[in-house]
Structure 1
Amino acid sequence: MSSVAEKLQRKSQRAASTKQVRLKLVYVDFWSAVKLSFLIAISLGIIFIVASLLAWLVLNTTGVFGNLSSLLQDILGDKNFEITSSFSLAKVGLFSVIIAVLDTIVGTAIGAITAMLYNFSVRITGGLLVGFTNN
């Protein structure tokens, strides 16, 4: 009598056949493309806000703004000029949020337009041929 382990071992020794399937992508759902492009644009906006605030913090703590202010004071001759008054953390943060909101709007619109253009071009080209395997 053979054990269950021996039966399983015999089954796994057989070569697995690879089946290939070729499918055509002939339609992209408009609302799915809009939702996906919105989520990608939101995540890129958040990344942009965090990166710009971190860059400002690094530049401020390393003293780059102080050195730049003293250099510009020497060049301009104005002893009251401070670069941090023009580029404060609040102003940089507000600018980053505005750019992130615009990025979200434009990114979502580009995703929607891309889905519509693909769906219109499928009528001419016949779609995108994609191959899949079960391996």
Structure 2
Amino acid sequence: MSTVADKLAQKSSRKPRSKQVRLRLVYIDFWSAIKLSFLAAIVVAVVTVVSFFLIYLVIDTMGIIAQLDEFIVGFADIQISSFVGLPQVMAFAGVLAILNLIVVTVLGAVLAGIYNLAVKVSGGLLVGFTSN
């Protein structure tokens, strides 16, 4: 006959199974959503400014702006290079990055609010977790 100690020793020699938990996401904190969307917007703003700078450098190095100047001077007395310089391009990139920052932050807050309202109808999102 087996004793209790034998049963416990047999149980401890088995490989422990991973525990699975199924949880339902029923609420997204409004301020957490704003902070996360603001952080994502900052990343997108930095990428926007750097990409505008690099694209301008490539276009300027290839001489496309100078060729465009020569082409347009044939039609009118307007020089594109006076409108499309590095300061103007970076100012436009900065304005675009700030607008994008505002829009993405507000969009994150709106989506969190919409999700919180939709949870009342649908019951939430079922999420599964496991421990290794």
Do they superpose with TM above 0.5?
yes
TM-score class, shorter: 0.7 to 0.9
How much has 1:26 moved relative to structure 2?
0.4
In the TM superposition, what whole-angstrom CA distance separates every residue of 1:36-79 from its partner, at most 9, and x where no partner exists?
101111111111011101111111112111122222234x1x4x
Determine the C-alpha separation between the residues in 1 that align with 2:70 and 2:40: 41
Gaps of at least 5 residues in structure 1 are 1-12
Farther-moved stretch of structure 1 (43-52 vs 59-68): 59-68
**Would you say 1:45 and 2:42 are equivalent positions?**
no
Unmatched 5+ stretches in structure 2:
1-12
Equivalent in the alignment of 2:100: 103
Tell me the residue number matched to 2:88.
91
**Which secondary structure state, in structure 1, belongs to the residue aligned with residue 65 of structure 2?**
helix
Find the counterpart in structure 2 of residue 8 from structure 1: none
CA RMSD in angstroms, aligned pairs only: 1.6
Per-residue CA deviations over 1:73-128 (Å, capped at 9, x if unaligned) read 34x1x4x5432111111111111111111111111100001111111111110000
Taking structure 1 as the reference length, the TM-score comes to 0.82
| Helix, strand or coil at the partner of 2:56 | helix
TM-score if structure 2 supplies the norm length? 0.83
Q: Percent identity?
A: 44
1:27 partner amino acid: Y
Matched positions, count = 120
> CA 1:83–1:14 in 2, change beyond 3 Å: closer, same or farther?
farther
**Structure 1 CA distance for aligned equivalents of residues 122 and 32 of structure 2:** 22
